[in-house]
Amino acid sequence: MIPPLLPGISSNTYLMLQIGPHKLANRVALAPMAGVTDLPFRRLCAELGAGLVVSEMISSDPGLRNSRKTAWRSRHDGEIEPRSVQIAGSEPQQLAEAARYNVLRGAQVIDINMGCPAKKVCRKAAGSALLADEALVAQILESVVSAVEVPVTLKIRTGSSPQARNGVSVARIAEDAGIAALAVHGRTRACAFRGEAEYDTIADIVAATNIPVFANGDIDSPGKAAQVLRHTGAAGVMIGRAAQGQPWLCGQVANYLDTGVISPAPTWEEQRRLIREHVQALHVFYGDFMGVRIARKHVSWYLQQSPAYLHHRRTFNQFDGPSEQLDYIDRIYDKTDNEELAA
């Protein structure tokens, strides 16, 4: 049943969203983001209401499998199901082998990256650079889908450039290859993250295919998510950069789409607890040396709305020990700073 506060959204949006055999708890996914969606952050977002979380992209290059970075990105202990792993590359057989390898390590969904606009990825003809070669797209998708028995999903952009928006064509290729679900960012490769996302192409993709589509790009609030679903008719939304510093956002959006009620953000005391637990999890996951350094960017995102943001960031970034970081979080969230942050 469509909640009365959300008119205009397709009734298909309120059906149980499913990827292969996996029924998702809701229609809100956390986007895969390199350097952000590591296991501690995925666990936190899932705990706070994300219906699907996807790993950071893992290179299909077998020579990198024993690297420290790949080892971190390949961990799934304690993660909600389905465990979705994103792979990146440009060689069909290499990607197929990477899919098999990650399934053996616990992946229940394989996601293929054809959406990353980063230059270091596109220089290797991977990520969104692949969109310019539809024949290669088809080869990759067919190779990966046939290599594994788990569902395969795909993340794309609307095209290579505003003059070459071939997202509909790529989506049809994906459906023909057996892709189980599609996430579409409403910008082209050339746009990177500049300007505003456009959703007309996503609506065209939804109309042209019969697989679940997640709309992605600039979705930063429950209201914006509902607006995008109305416009596109997509089955769900995928939230990326807006979740940085707001791991509860996916849950807020999911609750609004299900009930029409915007749930409040965590209280200051709840935020203190969440941030402390997140930072502690980073220390444990990466070890003290790297954990302290990776915690710096996450705490910076948490505090970016504070009037004293620059002061807190400079101070926090000076600490080299886990206990110093945790003590400073407590100091930020004492009564005085609560009033300052709320100002």
Catalytic site residues? 116
- With beta carbons less than 8 A apart as the criterion, state whether 14 and 1 touch: yes
- The rounded distance, in Å, linking the Cα atoms of 246 and 302 is 7
Helix, strand, coil in percent for the chain, rounding step 5: 50, 15, 40
CA 214/CA 233 separation, integer angstroms: 10
Beta-strand runs (E) in the chain: 18-19, 22-23, 28-30, 52-53, 58-59, 84-88, 109-114, 152-157, 181-185, 213-216, 236-239
- Give the contacts of 316 (CB within 8 A, at least 6 positions apart): 296, 299, 300, 303, 325, 328
Give the contacts of 311 (CB within 8 A, at least 6 positions apart): none
Starting at the earlier edge strand, list the strands of the sheet with 152-157.
Answer: 52-53, 28-30, 236-239, 213-216, 181-185, 152-157, 109-114, 84-88, 58-59
In the three-class reduction of DSSP (H, G, I as helix; E, B as strand; rest coil), residue 85 is classed as strand
In angstroms, the CA 32 to CA 17 distance is 19
Residues in CB range of 6: below 8 A, 6 or more apart: 226, 256, 257, 260
Report residue 247 as tokens.
């791991």
State how far the Cα of 219 lies from the Cα of 253, in Å rounded to an integer: 10
